[in-house]
């Protein structure tokens, strides 16, 4: 694919794991705006914030979720667009979307012109199914001055078809707002979610930026697995208990080079003629 005129340089990606409070819409909106202000002070080109940043996550019931729901026309997104005025910065963050009779676990892509895209999570995790309706449209790839940004939300990343589809659609980076519940794991092992993200980046030859949550909400602790992963599957920057945000400078256009060796192309080597066939039962 041809390069855009402005996307051949370094893109600074900032991911910050915030601590929203469930049901505290006004507070959480300001929390998000403050995070973007910090990112702008760091000259960020792309900012990724967690899943359901504006609402919190561990809802008591559907009514509580609905009280935090907003639309893409909400004044919050106007305020965010105003904050980005005069910049080329792009923000990706999660919000509880008011879809009329139903709610969606959504992510918005916002720049100085306003909301560029809204993606509705298609794979709902655990109790999310009690409050949200799964989206019915494939995740978008948004063209920006810094490269092409695909969007997934948390559990979506567990399905290899999702990052692969974004890769074949030309994504250079997948931004992943997420809330990864803390789970037990063997000593000295990375969280399984991070391993999954590394595998997706490596399998598709693109960058992945995950913004996880921090804190504890109604007894639920979080992995705090915020990380930026390069196109080879290696962690470029990672957050943690004492480091809630990461900054990574990336050459996103390198994702478009899928040649692995003089004889191999990561996407070109796919045998799409076989994948639709039934496996023989022997």
> Radius of gyration (Cα) for the chain, nearest Å?
18
**Distance from C-alpha of 250 to C-alpha of 81, rounded to nearest angstrom:** 24
Q: What is the pLDDT of residues 13-36, one digit of tens each?
A: 999 999 999 999 999 999 999 999
- Reported residue count of the chain is 282
What lies within 8 Å, CB to CB, of 280 at 6+ separation is none
Read off the pLDDT band of 243 (50, 70, 90).
Answer: confident
This prediction has a pTM of 0.95
**Distance from C-alpha of 73 to C-alpha of 40, rounded to nearest angstrom:** 23
Read off the pLDDT band of 242 (50, 70, 90).
Answer: confident
Average pLDDT of the segment spanning 58-87: 97
Query: Is 151 in contact with 118 (CB distance < 8 Å)?
Result: no
Read off the pLDDT band of 3 (50, 70, 90).
Answer: very low
User: What is the end-to-end Cα distance of the chain in Å, rounded?
Assistant: 42
% of the chain at pLDDT higher than 90: 94
Torsion of CA 126, 127, 130, 135, to 10 degrees: -50
Which pLDDT score, from 0 to 100, does residue 8 have? Answer: 59
Which pLDDT score, from 0 to 100, does residue 7 have? Answer: 52
Helix-strand-coil split of the chain, %, nearest 5: 25, 30, 45
Q: What is the pLDDT of residues 136-167, one digit of tens each?
A: 999 999 999 999 999 999 999 999 999 999 99
Q: What is the pLDDT of residues 78-130, one digit of tens each?
A: 999 999 999 999 999 999 999 999 999 999 999 999 999 999 999 999 999 99
**Distance from C-alpha of 62 to C-alpha of 64, rounded to nearest angstrom:** 5
Q: What is the pLDDT of residues 5-14, one digit of tens each?
A: 445 589 999 9
Q: How far is CA 144 from CA 7, 94, 253, in A?
A: 8, 19, 12
**Distance from C-alpha of 3 to C-alpha of 25, rounded to nearest angstrom:** 40
Phi and psi at residue 150, to the nearest 5°: -95, 160
**Distance from C-alpha of 99 to C-alpha of 183, rounded to nearest angstrom:** 32
**Distance from C-alpha of 49 to C-alpha of 36, rounded to nearest angstrom:** 9
Helices (H), the chain: 25-41, 62-67, 75-83, 161-168, 192-204, 272-275
């Amino acid at each position: 694919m041809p390069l855009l005129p402005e996307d051949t340089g370094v893109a600074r990606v900032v991911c910050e794991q915030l601590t929203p409070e469930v049901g505290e819409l006004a507070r959480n909106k300001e929390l998000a705006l403050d995070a973007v202000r910090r990112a702008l002070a760091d000259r960020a080109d792309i900012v990724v914030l967690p899943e359901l940043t504006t609402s919190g996550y561990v809802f008591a019931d559907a009514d509580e979720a609905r009280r935090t729901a907003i639309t893409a026309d909400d004044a919050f997104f106007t305020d965010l667009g105003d904050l980005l005025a005069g910049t080329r910065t792009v923000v990706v963050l999660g919000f509880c979307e008011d879809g009329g009779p139903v709610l969606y676990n959504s992510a918005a892509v916002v720049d100085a012109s306003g909301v560029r895209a809204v993606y509705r999570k298609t794979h709902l995790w655990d109790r999310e199914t009690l409050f949200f309706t799964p989206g019915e449209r494939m995740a978008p790839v948004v063209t920006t001055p810094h490269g092409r940004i695909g969007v997934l939300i948390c559990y979506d990343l567990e399905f290899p078809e999702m990052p692969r589809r974004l890769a074949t659609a030309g994504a250079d980076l997948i931004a992943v707002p997420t809330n990864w519940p803390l789970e037990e794991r063997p000593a000295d092992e990375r969280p399984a979610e991070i391993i999954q993200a590394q595998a997706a980046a490596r399998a598709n030859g693109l960058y992945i930026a995950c913004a996880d949550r921090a804190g504890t909400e109604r007894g639920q602790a979080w992995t705090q697995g915020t990380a930026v992963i390069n196109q080879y599957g290696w962690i470029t920057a990672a957050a943690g208990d004492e480091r809630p945000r990461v900054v990574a400078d990336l050459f996103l256009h390198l994702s478009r080079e899928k040649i692995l060796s003089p004889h191999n192309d990561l996407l070109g080597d796919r045998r799409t003629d076989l994948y639709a066939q039934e496996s023989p039962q022997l």
